[in-house]
Amino acid sequence: MTSPRPRLAYHLTEGTGPTIVFLPGYASDMSGTKALSLESWAKAQGRAFLRFDYGGCGASEGAFEEQSLADWRDDALAMIDAAVEGPVVLIGSSMGGWIMLLAALARPDRVAAIVGIAAAPDFTDWGFSQEEKLYILQYGRLQRPNPYGPQPTIYTRRFWQGGEANRLMHGPIALDCSVRLMHGQRDPDVPWAQSVRLAELLRSDDVQVTLVKDGDHRLSRETDIALLTRVVESVLP
């Protein structure tokens, strides 16, 4: 019997559908620049928007180091199932792009479109050296310097194994919805070629990749946010 998931913190803006759902990256939360900027835009447009924190992150309950990728996928599905009605557009940033894909595969009848921002599916595979993988398996915990904050980034055996069990980039990805992928070509964390490869693997014919030549991993500058808004708008009815 599995234990219940932690209670999740979220902010829902009522409006016309489909509901735009923002999925944060690894060790991130719903108060980032992209989530808040998109929420502000959605409010101004009268559109429904949902942002939330995964279990163990931000304002949600739970311990971060007890979570796995599969747990956070289930949190996203719980939000889709219980917090909103009707079709959704998923926006996934970095690891959130991986969760976006897993959620869309699990709820193809609910997901109208997906938008990836430096989407990082399978990063437990390509984002760690062989030595780091062995270290995680042996010691259960890996600590890395965090370029975006003072606290180190922690990866656990539970998270890593959950990621390895949910890899997608090994063959065709059976999604037929509209897909938009944005990626900065100066991204030091997720190679932009990952988005190009993802576009190739997706079954949908309605797939577009936007590369930002001077863009970094976060794509949080004003010009990036303006571009993101236009990309999101392009998949809305």
Chain Cα centroid distance, residue 221: 19
Q: Is 28 a catalytic residue?
A: no
Is there a contact between 62 and 55 (Cβ–Cβ < 8 Å)? yes
Q: Is 204 a catalytic residue?
A: no
CA–CA separation, 218 and 117 (whole Å)? 8
Is there a contact between 204 and 141 (Cβ–Cβ < 8 Å)? no
What is the tally of helices (H) and strands (E) in the chain?
A: 8, 9
Candidate list 53, 71, 74, 187, residue with the active-site label: 187
Q: Is 94 a catalytic residue?
A: yes
Candidate list 28, 68, 93, 94, residue with the active-site label: 94
Active site amino acids:
94, 187, 217
